[in-house]
Amino acid sequence: MAIDIMHGIQDGVAVVTGGGSGIGRQSSLRFAEAGAKVVVADIDEDGGHETIEMIESDGGEATFVRTDVTDSDDVAAMVQTALDEYGGLDFAHNNAGIADEGAHLADYDEAEWDRMIDVNLKGVWRCLKAEIPEMIERGGGAVVNTSSAAGVSANGSAHYAASKHGVIGLTRRAMVDYAEDGIRFNAVCPGVIDTPMVQQAGEDNAEELDRITAGIPAGRLGDPREVTSSSP
Ligand code: NAD
């Protein structure tokens, strides 16, 4: 079935990585609310199951699949779940990510660099690689990759910023490669959003979070719903 993406996401099938928490949970809820069937993917099983319960208690349809985006077999199984459970794949929000600890670049080692890039950048590539052929099969689709304000500025530590700048380059090139296949690609670049990732950073360094919050024009952290909402 080729889906007409100009007419919304009702009856489509979506996968959301990092769907067990924060922005990914909110995205999963929004997809379900709009009538899509959702494959919620996360390395955190408890968080993933909680998201499913929230969707089902609102009358939506979703399946959780434990997925580590650093593992190509897991990512392939995630996409296969969309095919097996719901017959195809139309939408993806490649959102799973890890945060930095604010260290300067000479202060972390190669393993920390590799880990950041593996999850935040290569993880998105692994997802795209598995998702795109299935979207082509459906005649088109739409993808959102989560970058960050750190993807367009010098915010965050160097490896986090590099990973998020990379997500933007990957998204731009995917758009060129697959424009003729009817797949749209966008990256979202949130500022500081009130999610467990940021709450943890606040617990680790409350002063730093206060300083960051004071520098936000609205004077407050963003809400995950402000990232995933389609209304103004
Ligand atoms: P979060 O920690 O609340 O959620 C991230 C989710 O990703 C978690 O459920 C976690 O288990 C999952 N995850 C981590 N590593 C994974 C892996 N290897 N495989 C699969 N799942 C994995 O954080 P969030 O704030 O909702 O972040 C979501 C995305 O938004 C991340 O990519 C983050 O970099 C980005 N982002 C967040 C902010 C912010 O201020 N919160 C700002 C800009 C960008």
Q: Can you spell out the DSSP letters for 124-169?
A: HHHHHHHHHHHHHHHT-EEEEEE--GGGSSS-S-HHHHHHHHHHHH
Instruction: Confirm if 81 and 19 have CB atoms less than 8 A apart.
Output: no
The residue nearest atom 36 of ligand 1, judged by CA position, is 148
Q: Provide the pLDDT for residue 231.
A: 64
Among 171, 195, 204, 226, the mutation site with the greatest number of ligand 1 atoms within 8 A of its Cβ is: 195
- Residue 196 sits at the vertex; the CA angle it makes with 26 and 20, to the nearest 5 degrees, is 45
160 assigned to active site: yes
> What is the Cα–Cα distance from 197 to 208, expressed in whole angstroms?
14
The residue nearest atom 10 of ligand 1, judged by CA position, is 18
- Ligand 1 binding pocket includes 146 (Cβ within 6 Å): yes
- Ligand 1 binding pocket includes 95 (Cβ within 6 Å): yes
- Ligand 1 binding pocket includes 51 (Cβ within 6 Å): no
- H or E element, residue 177: helix 158-178
Phi, psi of 14, rounded to the nearest 5 degrees: -125, 145
- The CA-to-CA distance between both ends of the chain, in Å, stands at 31
Q: Provide the pLDDT for residue 11.
A: 87
Pick from 131, 230, 141: which is nearest to 188 by CA?
230
For residue 64, the CA-to-ligand 1 centroid distance in Å is 17
Instruction: Confirm if 113 and 159 have CB atoms less than 8 A apart.
Output: yes
Q: Provide the pLDDT for residue 232.
A: 58
Taken in order of first residue, the domains within the chain and their CATH numbers are 13-228 (3.40.50.720)
For residue 158, the CA-to-ligand 1 centroid distance in Å is 17
Q: Which atom of ligand 1 is nearest to the CA of 24?
A: 26
Report field, pTM of the whole predicted structure over 0.85: yes
- Ligand 1 binding pocket includes 228 (Cβ within 6 Å): no
Averaged over successive runs of 10 residues, the pLDDT of the chain (232 residues) comes to 58 97 98 97 98 98 98 98 98 96 90 97 99 97 97 94 98 97 97 93 88 91 92 61
- Structure tokens that stand for 194 in this block: 């009130």
Q: Provide the pLDDT for residue 204.
A: 86
- Ligand 1 binding pocket includes 44 (Cβ within 6 Å): yes
> What is the Cα–Cα distance from 37 to 93, expressed in whole angstroms?
13
